[in-house]
C-alpha cells in the first residue's frame, strides 16, 4: 500500500518533468515551483482531513458524534495525501539545495 502511494507521487514528478521540459524549455525554477506547490497542497489537504486545523473544543465534541469508521477513513486519507506529496517535497528540496 505504501509503495503504491509513493509510486503515485513519483508519477506526478514524472508528469511535472515532462511538462517542464516540453513547455517550459527545461526551466528548473518552474519544476521547483510545480513540485513544491503540489506537495504542499497535498499535505494541506491531508492535514485538513486529519483535523490539524480544528479547534480542540469542536474536536472533542465531534469525537463523540463522528463514527469510528469515518474517523479511521479520514486518518487513512490524510496518510495517503502525505505519502503522495512526499516525493514532490523531496524533489523540491533536492532542486533547491543542489540546483538553485
Q: DSSP of 10-79, one letter per residue?
A: HHHHHHHHHHHHHHSTT-HHHHHHHHHHHHHHHHHHHHHHHTTTS-HHHHHHHHHHS-HHHHHHHHHHHH
Phi-psi region of 25 (alpha: psi -120 to 50; beta: other; left: phi over 0): left
Q: Which tens digit of pLDDT belongs to each residue from 41-96? A: 999 998 888 777 666 665 556 566 677 787 788 888 888 999 999 999 999 999 99
Task: Of 16, 79, 15, give the one whose Cα is nearest residue 45.
Answer: 79
Q: What pLDDT shows up at residue 2?
A: 87
Give the model confidence (pLDDT) of 11-25 as tens digits.
999 999 999 999 988
Residue 26 has pLDDT above 90, yes or no: no
pLDDT higher at 85 or 1: 85
pLDDT of residue 29: 92
pLDDT of residue 72: 84
pLDDT on residue 18 = 94
Q: Does pLDDT of 7 surpass 80?
A: yes
The residue with cell 513540485 is 35
Amino acid at each position: 500500500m505504501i509503495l503504491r502511494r509513493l509510486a503515485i507521487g513519483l508519477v506526478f514528478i514524472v508528469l511535472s518533468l515532462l511538462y517542464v521540459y516540453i513547455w517550459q524549455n527545461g526551466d528548473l525554477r518552474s519544476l521547483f515551483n510545480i513540485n513544491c506547490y503540489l506537495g504542499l497542497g497535498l499535505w494541506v489537504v491531508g492535514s485538513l482531513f486529519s483535523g490539524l486545523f480544528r479547534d480542540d473544543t469542536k474536536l472533542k465534541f465531534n469525537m463523540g458524534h463522528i463514527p469510528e469508521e469515518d474517523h479511521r477513513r479520514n486518518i487513512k486519507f490524510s496518510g495517503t495525501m502525505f505519502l503522495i506529496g512526499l516525493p514532490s517535497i523531496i524533489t523540491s528540496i533536492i532542486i533547491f539545495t543542489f540546483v538553485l
